[in-house]
Structure formats: structure tokens, C-alpha cells
Chain A
Amino acid sequence: DIQMTQSPSSLSASVGDRVTITCQASEDISNYLNWYQHKAGKAPKLLIHDASNLETGVPSRFSGSGSGTDFTFTISSLQPEDNATYYCQQFDNLPLTFGGGTQVEIK
């Protein structure tokens, strides 16, 4: 299985801050990577697919980049509603696998 390593596992930032999360794959996965947002008690939501393609309706403050083994997810200006856990997920190989998650807390 392809292992996905996210860091940090948690962070605390203020409204308006720029937040960056990294995801590293255990092997080259090209750009076959997605990002999800998971708010407590709710269904996870797809934000970005193919490393950098924003889903329709997702605010432009969210962005993704990277290819190969190293990927970055950025919130350019953190908002109160962004309080959530964020996961990366690869689809280069089955089984589809997720990173361990990054919990983003608003200070």
C-alpha cells in the first residue's frame, strides 16, 4: 500500500493567517492526490482533486500543489469556518489510502 504522511498532525492559527499542510507519499503518485475537509459530526467534503483542482463551490482561499511524492495544501487566509481536520488521499494505486489528517484549530 502507498503510505501517506501528513504534517503537522495539528496546528492552531488565527483568523487571517496563512496555513500550510504537507502530505508526502511513500512513492511517486504523479498528481493523483485529493484533499478533504472533515468537520466534527459532519460528512467529509472533497475540496481538491488531482493535487490542485478546486472543486466547484469551494472558496478560492483553498489551494493545492505538488506532484511526485510531495504535496502542499494551503489556506491563504484562515476563516472561523475552516476549523476542521484535513486529509490527503492518493489514487495512484489501490487500495486508495489517506493521510493521517491535520487538525486545524482557530486560536
Chain B
Amino acid sequence: QLQLQASGPGLVKPSETLSLTCTVSGGSISSRSYYWGWIRQPPGKGLECIGSIYYSGSTYYNPSLKSRVTISVDTSKNQFSLKLSSVTAADTAVYYCARLYYHDSSVYRAGWFDPWGQGTLVTVSS
């Protein structure tokens, strides 16, 4: 059974870089069928997709965060990572990692997150 677990500092200072790692167990991150994504949920707000990565290193970033986001993959460790630079209080959120099943062709479309990791709270504060 595939499981994902996000880890990283729970407290980051304003203007610094938030760094999280998602460890995938029970399956290979190098599967050709899936992407790997980051989603966040600020307190009292809805879910926001941050971006995703394919095992080859191909990435997609939400345009609203693109200038500050870097997602990378380490297939040898079965991990993928998120870096968000120049953070402010608005970046305080529970951050989730998830497997993304995504296809966009003329004959088939898919785009859902399954499974998700449990989430990790990151607070931006001095």
C-alpha cells in the first residue's frame, strides 16, 4: 500500500525558504503512470495546488506561486521535495504531498490526487 509522509521544519522565519520532503513508501516514485504533487491549506481556508513533478524531473508550478517554488525529485531515495522562498505569514499552512494521476490527451483526461500524506503544519513567524 502506497504511503506518503511529508517532513520538515514546522517553523520558518519570514523571508526565509520553506523546505519540505515527501518520502514515498510501498511503491516507486519512478512509476511512469504518476506525477507527485504538493498541496497546501492555510488555516481556515481551502486547498491550493502548489505544483507537481514527474520522476524525470519535469515540473508544473501554479502560476500564483511559480516565482517562489521549486520542486525536485530524488529517485534514489524515493523522495520529492518542495522549496518555497521568501515566505510570509500568508504561507502558513498545512502542506500535503500526494500522488497525482494526471493525463491530458485528446482521448483521455485524468487528474486526481490519491493517496495523500497526512500533512505537516508549517508556521511562518519570527
Complex CA gap A76/B20 in Å reads 39
Given contacts A94-B60, A97-B49, contact A43 B109 (CB under 8 A): no
Q: Any chain A CB within 8 A of the CB of B48? A: yes
B48 touches A98 (CB 8 A): yes
Q: Any chain A CB within 8 A of the CB of B111? A: yes
A43 touches B117 (CB 8 A): yes
Q: Any chain B CB within 8 A of the CB of A96? A: yes
Per-position binary interface string of chain A over residues 73-91, scored 1 when its CB falls under 8 Å from any chain B CB and 0 otherwise: 0000000000000010101
For residue B6, give the distance in angstroms from its CB to the closest CB of chain A.
10
Complex CA gap A34/B39 in Å reads 15
B46 touches A98 (CB 8 A): yes
Complex CA gap A62/B109 in Å reads 23
For residue A27, give the distance in angstroms from its CB to the closest CB of chain B.
15
Interface residues of B in 28-53 (CB under 8 A from A): 46-49
Complex CA gap A34/B49 in Å reads 14
Chain A interface size range: 20 to 34
Complex CA gap A92/B104 in Å reads 9
B46 touches A43 (CB 8 A): no
For residue B94, give the distance in angstroms from its CB to the closest CB of chain A.
10
B63 touches A95 (CB 8 A): yes
For residue B18, give the distance in angstroms from its CB to the closest CB of chain A.
19
Q: Any chain A CB within 8 A of the CB of B90? A: no
B48: chain A residues within 8 A (beta carbon): 98
A97: chain B residues within 8 A (beta carbon): 49
Interface residues of A in 1-28 (CB under 8 A from B): 1
Given contacts A43-B96, A44-B96, contact A91 B46 (CB under 8 A): no
| Closest 7 pairs between A and B when the two form their complex, measured CB to CB | A91-B111, A46-B114, A43-B116, A98-B47, A95-B62, A100-B46, A34-B112
Residue numbers of B with Cβ under 8 A of A are 46-49, 60, 62-64, 96, 98, 102, 109-119
Residue numbers of A with Cβ under 8 A of B are 1, 30, 32, 34, 36, 41-46, 49-50, 55, 87, 89, 91-92, 94-101
Task: Please name 26 pairs of A and B residues whose Cβ atoms are closer than 8 Å in the assembled complex, sorted by A.
Answer: A1-B64, A30-B109, A32-B109, A34-B111, A43-B118, A43-B119, A44-B96, A44-B113, A46-B113, A46-B114, A46-B115, A49-B112, A87-B46, A87-B47, A89-B47, A89-B113, A91-B109, A91-B111, A94-B60, A95-B49, A95-B63, A95-B64, A96-B111, A98-B46, A98-B47, A99-B46
